[in-house]
């Protein structure tokens, strides 16, 4: 029986694969960058390393992980940790690009820039999340249940609000979040932000 369970050590390869298979605005990003590993090292693995208590997975009856949600309860603190502790380990493998001529350059510039400026929405919506489901797990209510599970955990920890940012071209995500209680927030060009109070 498919179920939601807490993240546990050893899930990382499955999480990285799901991240890759959904990273291109919900589509498979295999081969989009020069190095497929980059997606997970920015968008999922730091979260389970820093806040495993706010990570949950969808597991099938044959024990395959087909979806996840990860969160950080304090975005400003998480971004500072990403900048100071997580990302410096990757500087040799992925040096800072001198220009943004490729999509990978743009994502690397994003990674190197994390934790260097003010955090949007930090006062009212201090937590943020990333959620991804493989196609086989989509459309069955698992996204809604994952969000409710994370919201319960954050609420129990005393976190007052939660936000997320989706790409402006990710039509599925933009349609989904208002249906699960998120309201649109002011957004930068190319992105759509949403928030909910807990």
- What percent of the chain is helix, strand and coil (3-state, nearest 5)? 40, 20, 40
For residue 110, what are the CA distances in angstroms to 42, 78, 183? 9, 15, 25
Question: At the topology level of CATH, where does 3-156 sit?
Answer: Aminopeptidase (3.40.630)
Instruction: Check if the beta carbon of residue 57 is closer than 8 Å to that of residue 11.
Output: yes
pLDDT tens series, the chain, 198 aa: 899 999 999 999 999 999 999 999 889 999 999 999 999 999 999 999 999 999 999 999 999 999 999 999 999 999 999 999 999 999 899 999 999 999 999 999 999 999 998 888 889 999 999 999 999 999 999 999 999 999 999 999 999 999 999 988 888 889 999 999 999 999 888 889 999 999
The whole-model pTM stands at 0.95
């Amino acid at each position: 029986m498919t179920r939601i369970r807490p993240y546990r050590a050893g899930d990382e390869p499955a999480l990285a694969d799901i991240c890759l298979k959904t990273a291109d605005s919900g589509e498979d990003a295999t081969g989009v960058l020069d190095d497929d590993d980059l997606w997970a090292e920015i968008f999922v693995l730091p979260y389970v390393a820093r806040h495993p208590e706010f990570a949950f997975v969808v597991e099938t009856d044959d024990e395959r992980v087909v979806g996840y949600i990860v969160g950080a309860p304090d975005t400003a603190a998480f971004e500072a940790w990403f900048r100071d502790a997580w990302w410096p380990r990757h500087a040799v493998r992925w040096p800072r690009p001198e220009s943004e001529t490729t999509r990978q350059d743009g994502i690397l510039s994003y990674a190197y820039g994390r934790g260097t400026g003010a955090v949007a929405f930090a006062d009212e919506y201090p937590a943020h999340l990333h959620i991804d489901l493989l196609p086989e797990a989509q459309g069955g209510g698992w996204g809604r249940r994952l969000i409710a599970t994370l919201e319960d955990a954050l609420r129990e920890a005393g976190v007052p609000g939660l936000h997320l940012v989706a790409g402006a071209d990710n039509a599925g995500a933009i349609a989904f979040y208002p249906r699960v209680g998120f309201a649109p927030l002011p957004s930068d060009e190319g992105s759509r932000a949403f928030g909910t109070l807990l």
